[in-house]
């Protein structure tokens, strides 16, 4: 049985770097977008982009079943509780730190963390709650390690105290909200705000960032005229007017990178996506939809004392919850790569990291002529 504890100074330094980036991004740009698609064969595919103003150096992280995980391990002055994982999981971390920001377990349960700065409010660790306290950055470990469907999480999450794990030298915590999707199509958004912990159904298969999830659903009412079909020609007085070209049904679709605009755009693309027959087709479609949310370096900028930081798409992922394959591509490695979760965990007796970056590679087809 492996021990999953942050003991080394190196790990503490890595977390301090991560926390510093978290504190910085609380007042600067971040623009993650998540969607959920389904195929005719019953495959559910959650997918998302990860945007940040700095490279969070995500690696791929595998945690086998039977691993002992200690909560609140980021802060050496705090002690939480230890749980043993029932299910193994694979996903993306940040800065070498042993947490899952995005991933899937062996049961096809998917978890994704999205920035929620300004709205996220968590409790504080106390002697009364430390035996059930889970830090906001560690929720992915707890969910993927313990559950196989959304229904089980609804009640179980009430038994823990979701806290902000403060670091004295940083004075900040991970301001996140979360999406959880299971292989049967169950999908929820979990938010902890000043109003308390809330679990929202995800009826449109979309998540972005602020404001709260119910606000985004209400905001969709401003866009009920959007449609995939082109507008027909009209007559104004004696003048016949027809469109210049394609796309008139989506006229008014917001195209900027703010969270409300991305939510509307993602909802429109998910709703109008053509039916797919298989898991592979659905994963392929998910990556194509999310291409429309890629942020190139330089398009979103924020001045800081250290210089101008620019938000950009660091990586994109998709999870085939039926067949247990986790897919991803990165800023440098644009070719989609995949990991079969069960096979990756086979034989592992301790958590393991592998690099997600393979570099920018171009296939030379010159000699094919």
Q: Detail the DSSP E strand segments found in 194-266.
A: 196-201, 206-207, 234-236, 239-241
Distance separating alpha carbons of residues 51 and 222, to the nearest angstrom? 26
Written as six digits, the tokens of 320 are: 């085939």
Q: Check: CB of residue 64 under 8 Å from CB of residue 349.
A: yes
- Residues β-bridged to residue 338: 327
User: How far is CA 172 from its chain centroid?
Assistant: 20
- The DSSP output letter for 233 is P
For the chain, what is the radius of gyration of the CA atoms? 21
Distance separating alpha carbons of residues 316 and 14, to the nearest angstrom? 23
Closest to 200 in 3D by CA, of 214, 216, 210, 211: 214
**Catalytic, out of 32, 74, 92, 120:** 32
Q: Which residues contact 310 (CB under 8 A, 6 or more apart)?
A: 53, 297, 298, 299, 300, 301, 302
End-to-end CA distance of the chain: 55
In the block, residue with structure tokens 């001045």? 303
Q: What is the per-residue burial (b if ≥16 Cβ within 10 Å, else e) of 126-160?
A: eeeebeebbbbbbbbbbbbbbbbbbeebeeebeeb
State yes or no: is 21 an active-site residue.
no
Active site residues: 32
């Amino acid at each position: 049985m492996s021990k999953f504890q942050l003991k080394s100074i190196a790990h503490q330094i890595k977390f301090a770097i991560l926390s510093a980036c978290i504190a910085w991004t609380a007042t600067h740009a971040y623009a993650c977008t998540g969607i959920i698609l389904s195929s005719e064969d019953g495959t559910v595919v959650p997918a998302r982009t990860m945007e940040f103003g700095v490279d969070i150096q995500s690696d791929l992280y595998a945690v086998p079943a039977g691993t002992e995980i200690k909560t609140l391990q980021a802060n050496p002055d705090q002690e939480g509780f230890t749980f043993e994982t029932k299910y193994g999981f694979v996903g993306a971390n940040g800065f070498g730190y042993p947490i899952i920001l995005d991933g899937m377990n062996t049961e096809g349960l998917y978890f994704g963390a999205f920035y929620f700065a300004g709205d996220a409010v968590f409790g504080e660790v106390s002697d009364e709650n430390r035996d059930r306290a889970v830090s906001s950055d560690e929720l992915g470990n707890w969910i993927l390690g313990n559950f196989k469907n959304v229904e089980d999480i609804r009640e179980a999450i009430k038994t823990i105290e979701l806290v902000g794990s403060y670091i004295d030298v940083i004075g900040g915590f991970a301001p996140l909200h979360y999406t959880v999707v299971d292989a049967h199509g169950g999908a929820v958004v979990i938010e902890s705000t000043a109003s308390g912990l809330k679990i929202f159904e995800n009826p449109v298969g979309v998540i972005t960032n602020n404001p709260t999830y119910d606000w985004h659903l209400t905001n969709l009412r401003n866009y009920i005229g959007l449609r995939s079909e082109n507008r027909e020609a009209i007559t104004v007085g004696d003048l016949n007017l027809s469109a210049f070209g394609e796309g008139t049904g989506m006229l008014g679709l917001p195209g900027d990178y703010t969270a409300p605009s991305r939510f509307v755009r993602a909802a429109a693309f998910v709703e109008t996506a053509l039916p797919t027959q298989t898991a592979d087709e659905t994963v392929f479609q998910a990556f194509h939809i999310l291409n429309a949310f890629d942020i190139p370096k330089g398009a979103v900028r924020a001045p800081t004392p250290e210089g101008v930081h620019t938000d950009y798409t660091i990586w994109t992922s998709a999870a085939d919850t039926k067949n247990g394959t986790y897919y991803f591509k990165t800023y440098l490695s644009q070719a989609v790569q995949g990991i079969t979760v069960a096979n990756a965990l086979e034989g592992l007796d301790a958590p393991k990291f592998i690099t997600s970056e393979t570099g920018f590679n171009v296939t030379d087809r010159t000699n094919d002529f």
